A and B are shown apart, each in its own frame.
Chain A
Amino acid sequence: MGSLLLRMKGITKAFPGVRALDEVDFELHSREVHGLVGENGAGKSTLIKVLSGAYIPDSGEIFLGGKLVSMTHPSQALDLGIVPVHQEPNLVLHLSVAENIYLGRQPRNRLGLIDYAKMNHDARVLLDRLHVRISPRNAVSDLSVAERQMVAIARAMSVDAQIVILDEPTAPLTDHEAELLFHAIEALKSGGVAVIYISHRLEEVFKIADRVTVLRDGRLVGTEPIDDLSIDMAISMMIGKAASGLFAKRTVAIGEPVLEVRNLYKRGFLEDISLTLRRGEILGMFGLAGSGRSKLASVLFGSESCDSGEVLLRGKRFQAENPAQAIRQGIGLVPEDRRGHGLVSGTSVKRNISLPRLRELSSVGIVNERAERQLAKKYVDQLQVRTPSIDQDVAYLSGGNQQRVVIAKWLATNSAVLLLDEPTQGIDVGAKAFIHSLMCDLAGEGIGILMISSELREILRMSDRVLVMHRGRITGKFTREEATEEGIMRAATGED
């Protein structure tokens, strides 16, 4: 580890209803790999976005190399040598590796023309330092994700980055590729670069990091040298005392199976997925980024195809080639990207809610507007959507209310099975509790709910049973009594 390079002091960042960061201190030395861990919502992403210039902190200071810096735009951070490397790096696919590394800065010869020989050679040197066996002449489109990450890292090296930020880099990688990534990180380190490594995969963090910082609920829990910590200690720091829920789940009678999935297989995404969901049951699906949960939901909803496997809905064979069929047979999906995929901005609340049910609301193709109005009113009331009128354009509603409209829409379909993909992500605490209560009501009416969530606490609080996915497989099954944070985390990180 080298000398002190970066110091973030007292960083606070709040958004409406949420305190993402609360007086966080963070320190980084050159030649250091510094792990940043914490649960979903702990503030890791926000801290990184502040550092890379995407957010301006409400208060706090950032010192780089001893000097106070203030950034209002990501390009400024890049100029200062702070380089974030994304999981899916932003590269120009049809250009070569070398060109991507030197994009906009290609070396030129005396005539002012691009010197490809030199560019390829310099790129080769960088790639060798990272121990990467790719030819600089290859088009990026031919590369795997792992290789593209390497290109992004090589690019960071070529701009003499001081700080490289890796956010969940190994999620799309195989174990072997991850090993190569670690070698590359070592190379970066010996080159004098400081690396911030964010990951849920604690065993990885413990393998390569020199120090670890744990965040929880927007606050700094602690920064320790890796040798002074064990994974279990880190986990307990991340989790802290399980908050005595603002909300206690009501018990609901659980009936017979409403959804049975057998050996679902989708090449590259899902392997041998089998599960049973019962009426009135809330089945929690936990998994880290890349585990395949959302893919499973998409496949069940008919939004994507699968290669083999069988699904039974209410005992009858279920097959959906598109969402329309799935909805008709009784499955609904509240997508993760609610505002992008769940709502039609530019149309009223009423029309958004009625959209999946238009067929039932129309006769001879003509929409029964009175019935539609009644339907919309009913669910707007039930979900307490705050809007001046149901004819209001959803674009004008606040985020939390937009959320409710999306959920209202799916409630209105009277589905037998509801797939909820991150239902309370990005919502403030009050609204969260409301949605949870709603879920219990729905379960009480006999609907089977599959709840995908990355929030351990939510999973523990709400689920009757918990399934854990890791790399496309189900790696853990827990009943409500059996489920513990550690157990679930282990299954999710592939420990067990």
Chain B
Amino acid sequence: MSEMSLSKKLLRILTDQTILVVLVGLIIVFSILNADRFLSTENIHNVARQVSFDTIVALGQVVVLIAGGIDLSVGSVLAMAAALAMGLQSYGVGIAVLAAIGMGLAVGTINGLLVTKGKIVPFIATLGTMTVVYGAMLTYTQQQPIPGQVEWFKVLGAGSAGPVPIPTIIMALFVGIFHVLLKYTRFGRNLYAVGGNKEAARLAGIQADRPVFWAFVLSGLLTAVSGVLLASRLNSSTIHMGQQTGLLVIAACIMGGASMLGGRGSAMGAFLGILALAILTNGLNLLSVFSFYQTGIRALLLISIVAVDAFYATTVRKRMMEASAIGAQQAQESAGSGG
């Protein structure tokens, strides 16, 4: 096995664990700038609660990204789930929640079908469903926030078990489940295979369509769950929920190791990415940085992440071709000349 030089190893760690580096960096910076407020138990508690909602969505997104797709409909699904969970409470809270989750499953299924059967490119397909669901949400809510009808429903989103917020516990549960799913089940590994090299997956007997389909279903499901939790927290739903979510979650997943090209990513990575972004927002908030500036910073971050990811993908791809240099080029040559 070719020995990797020290510098190469460092670079490898830096690129593989960028998110940890970024996270630690952020924590250090804000601790220095604003120690007492940033590191207070109250703040940590808040951040912990805050990350849960987006992390759950990110888990769904990372599954889709690993399979080589992308799900832009998450923002609208989130808002719609929140709206249904609040709006249908006159039929019973349980029914309302079920309806919300059912909607998420339905949208996920539609996305999955559009991509696998309709052969529509994922970001176009989910762009379409995003619009339709957005419109449905606006219609259903009549552009008004919907208040909840029972006080106890708040417990899910706003309550705490001791020092730990309940949504955080739920989030941790999901992270654990998906970590196991992605790493220890054939389904999970097939996702990586299909997203990483569809042809190799096919040759190994894996049907490309099924993992991709289920990935979208899962994304819809998780997003809906997050929507329900979010609605529970405020005990109401607003039409502005989820507006930033789509981009945020994609950026977080990529920061955590996923790639637009598929075949990479992890549950932990998704969580860490969301955490990093949440800490960034939190830190800036505490420093009283105006929210508009925050939007700008986040946008810059997203652009850089996507750009660097793409750049890395193309140059690394090129370098990999050069490394197995004579091989790759000759493979092309002999593809023609093999007699």
Contact = CB atoms under 8 A, between A and B. Distances in A.
Contact of B327 (A90, A112, A113, A172): A172
Interface string B164-191: 0000000000000000100111100110
Contact of A103 (B201, B332, B338): B201
B189 A95 contact: yes
B339 interface: yes
B331 A172 contact: yes
B189 A114 contact: yes
B186 A104 contact: yes
B332 A114 contact: no
B329 A295 contact: yes
A215 B192 CA distance: 42
Assign chain A's interface to a size class.
35 or more
Contact of A113 (B184, B325, B334): B184
Interface in A195-245: 198, 215
- Of B322, B331, B333, B337, chain A has the most CB atoms within 10 Å of the CB of B337
A392 B337 CA distance: 30
A143 B4 CA distance: 11
A291 B326 CA distance: 8
A87 B327 contact: yes
A290 B338 CA distance: 11
Contacts of B183: 114
B80 to A, nearest CB: 34
A403 interface: no
Contact of B200 (A91, A422, A472): A91
Interface string A379-405: 000000000000000000000000000
Nearest to A90: B200
Interface in A131-145: 133-135, 138, 141-145
B296 interface: no
Interface stretch (A41-49, A345-353, A433-441): A41-49
Contact of A95 (B185, B193, B325, B329): B193
B199 interface: yes
Contact of B205 (A104, A134, A143, A144): A104
B105 to A, nearest CB: 24
Nearest to B317: A93
Contact of A99 (B184, B189, B203): B189
A104 B211 CA distance: 12
Interface in A260-277: 268-269
Interface residues of B, number: 41
Contacts of A45: 338-339
A187 interface: no
Nearest to B206: A104
B197 A168 contact: no
A285 to B, nearest CB: 12
B264 A94 contact: yes
Given A92-B263, A94-B263, A268 B325 contact: yes
A108 B184 CA distance: 9
Contact of B197 (A41, A75, A93, A142): A93
B200 A172 contact: no
A290 B193 contact: no
A384 B328 CA distance: 36
A86 B337 CA distance: 14
B244 to A, nearest CB: 29
Nearest to B200: A90
B1 interface: yes
A252 interface: no
Contacts of B330: 87, 171-172, 289-291
A90 B333 CA distance: 17
Contacts of A145: 324, 326-328
Contacts of B333: 289-291, 293-294, 336
A463 B135 CA distance: 70
B162 interface: no
Nearest to A49: B338
Interface string B192-213: 1100110111011110000000
A95 B195 CA distance: 11
A46 to B, nearest CB: 8
A167 interface: yes
Given A95-B192, A103-B200, A454 B337 contact: yes
Contact of A104 (B201, B324, B329): B201
B1 A289 contact: no
Contacts of B338: 40, 44-45, 167-168, 198, 289
B6 interface: no
B63 to A, nearest CB: 16
Contact of B193 (A103, A143, A291, A292): A103
Interface in A94-126: 94-95, 99-100, 103-106, 108, 112-114
Contact of B323 (A113, A138, A144, A173): A144
B339 A38 contact: yes
B320 interface: yes
A431 interface: no
A113 B337 contact: no
Nearest to B337: A454
Nearest to A144: B324
A78 B329 contact: no
Contacts of A292: 326, 329
Interface string A291-310: 11111000000000000000
Interface string B24-66: 0000000000000000000000000000000000000000000
A93 B205 CA distance: 17
Nearest to A79: B205
B339 A39 contact: yes
Contact of B196 (A41, A92, A168): A92
B201 A112 contact: no
B206 A41 contact: no
Contact of A92 (B180, B201, B336): B201
A15 to B, nearest CB: 14
Given A43-B339, A95-B192, A144 B2 contact: yes
Contacts of B328: 88, 145, 172
Given A43-B339, A291-B330, 13 more contacts: A74-B203, A78-B205, A88-B331, A92-B200, A94-B192, A94-B264, A95-B189, A104-B206, A113-B185, A135-B1, A142-B1, A145-B324, A171-B327
The 4 closest A-B pairs by CB, nearest first: A172-B327, A290-B330, A289-B334, A145-B327
28 contacts: A38-B339, A41-B339, A74-B203, A78-B205, A87-B334, A88-B327, A90-B197, A92-B197, A92-B263, A93-B197, A94-B264, A95-B192, A99-B189, A100-B200, A103-B206, A104-B206, A112-B185, A113-B180, A134-B1, A141-B320, A143-B1, A148-B324, A172-B324, A172-B327, A268-B326, A289-B337, A290-B327, A290-B334
Interface of A: 38-45, 74-75, 78, 86-88, 90-95, 99-100, 103-106, 108, 112-114, 133-135, 138, 141-145, 147-148, 167-168, 171-173, 198, 215, 268-269, 289-295, 336-337, 422, 425-426, 454, 471-472
